[in-house]
Amino acid sequence: MDVNSNDRSKVWTPLFFSLVLVAGMVLGFNLRDSLRNKRELSTIIQRNDRLDEVVGLIRNRYVDTINNELLYTDALSGILRSLDPHTVYIPPDDLEGVNDDLEGGFSGIGVEFSIIRDTIEVTNVIDNGPAAHAGVQVGDQVIKVGDTLVAGVNITSDHIIHLLKGKQSSVVNVTFKRVENNAFKQLPITRDIIPVYSVDASLMLDGITGFIKINRFSATTYDEFSTALKKLQQQGAKQLILDLRDNPGGYLEAATLIADNFLDNNKLIVYTQGVHSPRTEYIAGEKGVFENGKLAILIDEGSASASEILAGAVQDWDRGVIVGRRSFGKGLVQKQYDLPDGAALRLTVARYYTPSGRSIQRSFAKGKDAYMEDYEHRFQTGELTGKDSVALADTTRYYTGRHRLVYGGGGIKPDVYVPYDTAHLSSGLISVLFSRELKATIWDYFMQNRSKLKGKTINEFTQSFDSHQLTSNYLAMLGQDMRSRVNALLAKPANDTYFKLQVQAQLARFLFRDNGYYAVSLKQDEVVNKALAVMNTDQYSKVISGQ
């Protein structure tokens, strides 16, 4: 009996100690992880306390008065400085304006205005908007918003916009000087949602070529684009120029929906991926409404993010030609996190890649300042002006669907390069075109002749208008010295032609809004003219076939 008991003890004792050892190891690992988590939490708390302690010392002991909000904003900016250039903190006061641009609307009264001779002139009244219902007319002058006098020296557009915007359905009393009788009248206007359009213009350039200009990708962009494209097709558009120059991007979805209209089913448009973000693919779905017509995408150094997604997809699938200059080079995806105090953190969470696998993001290894000064660098090296039209920020090779060679990093390199037009970069000419005197002259001419001008179509206006009278009116209002300088500028035929075209374009904007402006100004747009030349010759097929 005792012998059998000892034998069993010999068998179970090692097993018992093994179990105890395993249990001890598990307990040890759990205890280690628990203590490590406590240390990490303690470190976080200590760091947070350290920040609050430093801020508190500055607030209570610093030699001068400190703006507490600005102090925290600067601290947050310092934390983000070591990250990429597009991860940003948005203070509460700025967030509304940022969101308005992307959401495609804001709450206001529905007028467009221009400050002329220190007076706010209503240049357009939105159809069926609050101001239109209240009886506001083009030419009315805004004198007071509520109890705030807004006519006079040093008024700014931002200040007026701030006063006119407000909560939906709230009432604002605006005092106008009426255009028909110069009488002062206070009108109560109920604010409502006013659309912020992302499609600046849509028009026919010739019998078969439609043109659409998109200034950003907002929540309403796809619907605006679809409406514009449908109208152009009804007018006979068989080929399309899509202008994405100076378009800084916006919502990824808006760009992919537009790309879907150009690409066959099941083609990859773009994919995104990050350390904490799994690969997400955006695929072309049902048949698009413009999968076959000739297509040209216009880009430049101001085309970024969603613009590059759209241009990259078109280029990688050899769907159309990319015309202009190398794009900005922003291939990072941001997600906005709203904070409890009304601010927000726009955090980079992934990179996006074109169908061929290209990352378009250019390097920011030299810091944010160098990154943001890239435009000046491109200008100095001659990339923008044609001295170095083949400049590459990255020589990594990729291939399109038809095995055309394309490059990654540093933006989308166009298929057809068009240098920056430096002929009109004269500081004197630019200052004249944006002068208060010229703006006032054009507005006065518009108000005096608008009944006659309003009877014309855009085409009739662009074909028949003569800028000679407007130019004479402008010169007549200048002092002798300034008149001599302007005459010297306009003595150069190229300057004179460009000046008269821009005068007509600015007048057309008062008459027909942005469509009128582009109908005139595009006549001397070298990028548009190059795109037309490519599309109307066999160069188009040679480019997309890689010849």
3-state secondary structure 51-64: HHHHHHHHHHHCCC
Of 140, 136, 153, the closest CA to residue 179 belongs to: 140
316 catalytic residue (yes or no):
yes
On the 0-12 / 13-18 / 19+ scale of CB atoms within 10 A, 225 is buried
- DSSP string covering 73-135, please? HHHHHHHHTTS-TT-EEE-HHHHHHHHHHHHTEEEE--EEEEEETTEEEEEEE-TTSHHHHHT
Q: Is the pLDDT of residue 30 over 80?
A: no
The amino acid occupying position 457 is T
Residue 142 pLDDT: 96
The rounded radius of gyration (Å) of the Cα atoms in the chain is 31
**DSSP state at residue 407:** E
Q: How far apart are CA 482 and CA 484, in angstroms?
A: 5
Residues 115 and 120: their CA atoms lie apart, in Å, by 5
378-424 per-position pLDDT tens digit: 888 888 888 766 666 667 889 999 999 998 878 999 999 999 887 77
pLDDT, one tens digit per residue, over 152-197 is 878 899 899 999 999 999 999 999 999 989 999 999 999 999 998 9
330 is catalytic: yes
507-528, pLDDT tens digit by residue? 999 999 999 999 999 999 999 9
Place of tokens 């600046």: 200
pLDDT band at 367; cut points 50, 70, 90 = confident
pLDDT tens-digit series, residues 193-236: 999 899 999 999 999 999 999 999 999 999 999 999 999 999 99
What pLDDT shows up at residue 78? 83
Q: Where do we find the tokens 């010295």?
A: 481
Residue from 262, 165, 191 nearest 222 by CA:
262
pLDDT digits (tens, 9 = 90+) for 73-99: 788 888 888 899 999 988 888 888 788
**CB-neighbour burial class of residue 39 (10 A; exposed 0-12, middle 13-18, buried 19+):** exposed
Q: What is the mean pLDDT of residues 102-128?
A: 92
| pLDDT over 60 (residue 18) | no
- Distance in angstroms (rounded) separating the CA atoms of residues 86 and 328: 13
What is the distance between the alpha carbons of residues 418 and 423, in angstroms, rounded to a whole number? 14
Residue 188 neighbours by CB distance under 10 Å: 10
Q: Which two tokens stand for residue 196?
A: 């912020």
Predicted confidence at residue 97, as pLDDT, reads 79
User: Active site residue: 107, 218, 303, 305, which one?
Assistant: 305
Work out the average pLDDT over 425-442.
Answer: 91
Residue 49 banded pLDDT, cuts 50, 70, 90: low
Q: Give CA–CA dist 5/478, Å, rounded.
A: 120
Q: Contact, 90 vs 238, CB < 8 A?
A: no
pLDDT band at 245 (very low <50, low <70, confident <90, very high): very high
Q: Which of 316, 374, 394, 415 is catalytic?
A: 316
pLDDT at 9 over 70: no
Lowest mean pLDDT among 46-60, 242-256, 285-299: 46-60
Closest by Cα among 292, 289, 214 to 254: 214
In this structure, what token pair is assigned to residue 59? 């607030």
Q: Is residue 305 annotated as part of the catalytic site, yes or no?
A: yes
pLDDT at 155: 86
